[in-house]
Amino acid sequence: NTVVGVPRESAAGERRVALVPKVVERLKVRGLDVVVEPGAGSAALIPDDSYVRAGATLGDPWSADVVVKVAKPSRDEIARLKSGAVLIGFLAPLTDAEGVRALADAGVTGFAMEAVPRISRAQSMDALSSQANVSGYRAAMLAAEHLTRFFPMLTTAAGTVPPAKVLVLGAGVAGLQALATARRLGAHTTGYDVRPEVAEQVRSVGSQWLDLGIEAAGSGGYARALTDAERAEQQRQLEQAIGGFDAVITTALVPGRTAPTLVTAEAVKGMRPGSVVVDLAGESGGNCELSEPGAVIVVHDVTIAAPLNLPATMPEHASELYARNVQALLELLVDADGALAMDFGDEVVAGACVTREEP
Amino acid sequence: NTVVGVPRESAAGERRVALVPKVVERLKVRGLDVVVEPGAGSAALIPDDSYVRAGATLGDPWSADVVVKVAKPSRDEIARLKSGAVLIGFLAPLTDAEGVRALADAGVTGFAMEAVPRISRAQSMDALSSQANVSGYRAAMLAAEHLTRFFPMLTTAAGTVPPAKVLVLGAGVAGLQALATARRLGAHTTGYDVRPEVAEQVRSVGSQWLDLGIEAAGSGGYARALTDAERAEQQRQLEQAIGGFDAVITTALVPGRTAPTLVTAEAVKGMRPGSVVVDLAGESGGNCELSEPGAVIVVHDVTIAAPLNLPATMPEHASELYARNVQALLELLVDADGALAMDFGDEVVAGACVTREEP
């Protein structure tokens, strides 16, 4: 049988794991064997014996035929893969050319979850979206945590406090989930995106649409970069609008590029003391000019949080969603008996593949 | 004019302040002058100039006729009060007899917010309730923060995750707010209390009632202590029930006594790995046998948080609600011109007063 190995993640702060026990069960049914490194689930509070009960064995995951990871492997980890092995994970193909080359040199066939084509047949493998759902949820929670005020309206015998006003910039999966979560919590929510076609989606989660009159739809569901004139106009209008919100959550990313600045220092200065900015683009330089990626700071009495790797802060479900994405991709790579049978003529297989062992 | 002084709170971790600018404005209208210590609002991210714009002056609050505080004063602070001064705050009359005696020795007339009678005329002064609202809200947020799973049901292309199951023990103001907040976030919520008459209130916030068949209604809206037999039966049944929940929030307090143990070590052991206990009774010894007050620990892969002073973690609105309670009490203590005129024949004035200057 094809053996799937699940290492313990080694990156700092990474609490996720590539497979969860429920998915191990399903892979067993498909004829795959699973070897889990002891402690692989411990940061996600998933004990080893849960994997064993699901049919996995505990052992060395690196000698497996297919190794499944969350974060890209370190150089040491690449050295432990056997030549001809298949590796699945977030391999950062757009930003880590050297890492991809190291995989190729090691004779590894690599599939990057980020490179899965965004077509409807591959939706079940869309790990960027599944993890963005987690990020958006956690971003709304972080905004509520750092705000010195309530999100919901509260009525007490001594009077009423009004609901918080939350603005979400960027209405992709993370932005929509942040809007939906903030609204669930009782906030008054408003969304903005340079792609006017997402206005309907913003409204569908019960939020208002902030219309700045700037359009910049790009390809693959992302926005294109704005022209200088568009950016200046956007900045001017956003600076005016942002002062009216208690919390601003930013989620604007352009793949392979530095994140656009949406919340300037001047805009932060215009916010009411006690307000909050949660910047989800910290890993790409940040959407807020004052963000310090990985830190929570207070400037002009406004709290600015730029968390890194938010999905890792909710590790069990983030892992479960990711594992299901990995499962869907794995099922595309094996035949009915669970033997590896990769069809590189398949658009999804070819699209996700970033290095391929020469036959 | 009567002068009201607002010191900067000195207790560790206390981010609240006894008056906020909005309430300063209203007190000015009632003929009171307000002196705010510079930086009094800074931990709540309320700048000094907000107080000044509301009509306060910055200066020494301790020489005022009436000093309003959140936490009970330190011995040094008591020494700074002038003889004959009025002090309003959480003075802990049931648990800090020495502090109350020190106030009496200093010739201070002290009003304890905890001692305001729980009658309908005094509801607007009920600071225990207003702060319990904050605690309950924050407790639900903390449970969501520490849970490794989603609160809401999530549907993605790769499948669905079910909503979290949240149990709240103790259905007072904090418990009901925790239930309401967890439910807003999409969790499936269940409430339990030894006072059967609150079942309707639990249901009114969209939650199920966990009926263990034990009743212990006491006075003042609190529960009485259980008998040994009742406690054993409650423990046995709770241990069985708790294992079915992702998050358990405990809010059971008996005034002036150690908090009852509701979540035993055995019950924690029976919870699914990754689950969470948030114990709001940390300041009174905790409702969970394993709680370490002030800390977040992981035992048997279950996260147990026993936060202290949760209202201080949302300082602006906690302060605003508290300040309105203080305002309502102050208005009862002054005449139409804003001069002190304390009627100790008034049930509320007499009830709240814990020390009184001998005339």
Please judge whether B324 and A154 are an interchain contact, meaning their C-beta atoms are less than 8 angstroms apart.
no
- Shortest distance, CA A176 to any CA of chain B (angstroms): 13
B67 three-state secondary structure? strand
**Which of A47, A141, A184 faces B301 most closely, judged by CB atoms?**
A47
Please judge whether A45 and B145 are an interchain contact, meaning their C-beta atoms are less than 8 angstroms apart.
no
Please judge whether A150 and B314 are an interchain contact, meaning their C-beta atoms are less than 8 angstroms apart.
yes
Q: Which of A149-153, A257-261, B122-126 has the lowest mean pLDDT?
A: A257-261
C-alpha angle B182/B184/B187, rounded to 5°? 50
- Quick one: pLDDT at residue A196? 85
Q: Which of A54-63, A151-160, A340-349 has the lowest mean pLDDT?
A: A151-160
Please judge whether A148 and B181 are an interchain contact, meaning their C-beta atoms are less than 8 angstroms apart.
no
Q: Which residue's structure tokens are 């699940």?
A: A6
**Which of A156, A302, A314 faces B321 most closely, judged by CB atoms?**
A156
Q: Which residue's structure tokens are 């790995």?
A: B273
* Alpha carbon distance A323, B7 (integer Å): 54
- Residues from chain B contacting residue A133 (CB–CB below 8 Å): 154, 156
- Quick one: pLDDT at residue A256? 79
* Structure tokens belonging to residue B350: 């007499």
- Quick one: pLDDT at residue A254? 81
C-beta of residue B246 within 8 angstroms of C-beta of residue B166: yes
Residues contacting residue B60 through CB under 8 Å, at least 6 positions apart: B5, B35, B37
Please judge whether B152 and A47 are an interchain contact, meaning their C-beta atoms are less than 8 angstroms apart.
no
* Structure tokens belonging to residue A189: 């929510």
- From residue B282, give the alpha-carbon distance in Å to each of A338, B6, B10, B72, B355: 53, 28, 21, 18, 28
φ/ψ (deg, to 5) at A30: -80, 5
- Shortest distance, CA B98 to any CA of chain A (angstroms): 31
A4 three-state secondary structure? strand
B188, B170, B263, B306 alpha-carbon torsion, rounded to 10°: 90
- Quick one: pLDDT at residue A257? 85
- Shortest distance, CA A317 to any CA of chain B (angstroms): 5
**Which of A45, A158, A315 faces B325 most closely, judged by CB atoms?**
A158
pLDDT band at A210 (very low <50, low <70, confident <90, very high): very high
- Quick one: pLDDT at residue A216? 74
- Shortest distance, CA A358 to any CA of chain B (angstroms): 32
* Structure tokens belonging to residue B226: 């259980």
- pLDDT per residue as tens digits for the range A264-290: 999 999 999 999 999 999 989 999 999
- Quick one: pLDDT at residue A359? 57
Please judge whether B150 and A137 are an interchain contact, meaning their C-beta atoms are less than 8 angstroms apart.
yes
φ/ψ (deg, to 5) at A142: -65, -40
C-beta of residue B88 within 8 angstroms of C-beta of residue B348: no
Active-site choice (B123, B204, B211, B272):
B123
Could you tell me the sign of the dihedral formed by the alpha carbons of A244, A138, B192, B136, in that order? negative
**Which of A184, A316, A325 faces B185 most closely, judged by CB atoms?**
A184
Supply the ipTM of this predicted assembly: 0.93
C-beta of residue B306 within 8 angstroms of C-beta of residue B292: yes
- Quick one: pLDDT at residue A223? 72
* Structure tokens belonging to residue B261: 């143990």
Confidence check: pLDDT of A232 > 60:
yes
Confidence check: pLDDT of A220 > 90:
no
- Residues from chain A contacting residue B184 (CB–CB below 8 Å): 152, 184-186
* Alpha carbon distance B33, B35 (integer Å): 7
Please judge whether A184 and B186 are an interchain contact, meaning their C-beta atoms are less than 8 angstroms apart.
yes
pLDDT band at A186 (very low <50, low <70, confident <90, very high): very high
Q: Name the burial class of residue A296, with classes exposed (0-12), middle (13-18) and buried (19+) by CB atoms within 10 angstroms of its CB.
A: middle
Mean pLDDT by 10 residues, chain B (359 residues): 97 97 97 98 98 98 97 96 96 94 96 96 96 97 98 90 97 97 98 92 96 75 78 88 97 87 95 98 94 96 97 97 98 95 96 87
- Quick one: pLDDT at residue B336? 93
Question: Known catalytic residue: A15?
Answer: no
* Structure tokens belonging to residue A358: 């020469």
- Quick one: pLDDT at residue B359? 57
Please judge whether B321 and A185 are an interchain contact, meaning their C-beta atoms are less than 8 angstroms apart.
no
**Which of A45, A137, A328 faces B148 most closely, judged by CB atoms?**
A45
Q: E strands within B271-334?
A: 276-279, 296-299, 302-305
- DSSP letter at A138 equals H
Q: Which residue's structure tokens are 């932060």?
A: A268
